[in-house]
């Protein structure tokens, strides 16, 4: 499958891993938008948040557990988790991913 994130999972594309277990991996974003900008992704290829249902939602719950663990391990003082779903929301990689961002102030509402 021609998916950048599946290639990162398989090791075909190198990246700086922050966390890995049997279900998810987390790695530094190549174009960080904050001092801490980590992508957390399930190893299963789910296209977007629009495909979350009863068959895979436990995986997404696990992503959020991992986010909390990373935040604790890195002693992050506040963080933002972002998921872009679909072209109009700015999703460029069609393998579901959650941006874990920290280290600066974030405005609200987001632009």
> What is the nearest approach in angstroms of ligand 5GP to the Cβ of residue 33?
7
Pairing of strands 80-82, 36-42: unpaired
When the beta carbons of 38 and 71 are compared against Zn ion, the nearer one is 38
The answer to whether 45 is a known catalytic residue is no
Give yes or no for a contact between 25 and 92, defined as CB atoms under 8 angstroms apart.
Answer: no
Q: Which residues of 75-103 are buried (b: 16+ CB within 10 A; e: fewer)?
A: ebeebebebbeeeeeebeeebbbbbbbbe
Position 50 contacts ligand 5GP (CB under 6 A): no
Alpha-carbon dihedral angle through residues 71, 93, 6, 70, given to the nearest 10 degrees: 0
- Which is closer to ligand 5GP, CB of 32 or CB of 54? 32
Q: Name which of residues 78 to 97 contact ligand 5GP (CB under 6 A).
A: 84, 90-93
Binding site for Zn ion (CB under 5 A): 3, 5-6, 45, 95
Which active-site residues does the annotation give? 97
List interacting residues with ligand 5GP (CB under 6 A). Answer: 4, 13, 15, 27-31, 39, 84, 90-93
């Amino acid at each position: 499958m021609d998916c950048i994130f599946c290639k990162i999972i398989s090791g075909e594309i190198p990246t700086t891993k922050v966390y890995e277990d049997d279900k998810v991996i987390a790695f530094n974003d190549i174009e960080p938008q904050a001092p801490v900008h980590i992508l957390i992704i399930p190893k299963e290829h789910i296209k977007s948040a629009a495909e979350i249902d009863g068959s895979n939602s436990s995986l997404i719950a696990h992503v959020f557990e991992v986010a909390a663990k990373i935040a604790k391990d890195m002693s992050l003082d506040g963080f933002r988790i972002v998921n872009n779903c679909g072209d109009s929301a700015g999703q460029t990689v069609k393998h579901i991913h959650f941006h874990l961002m920290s280290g600066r102030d974030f405005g609200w509402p987001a632009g």
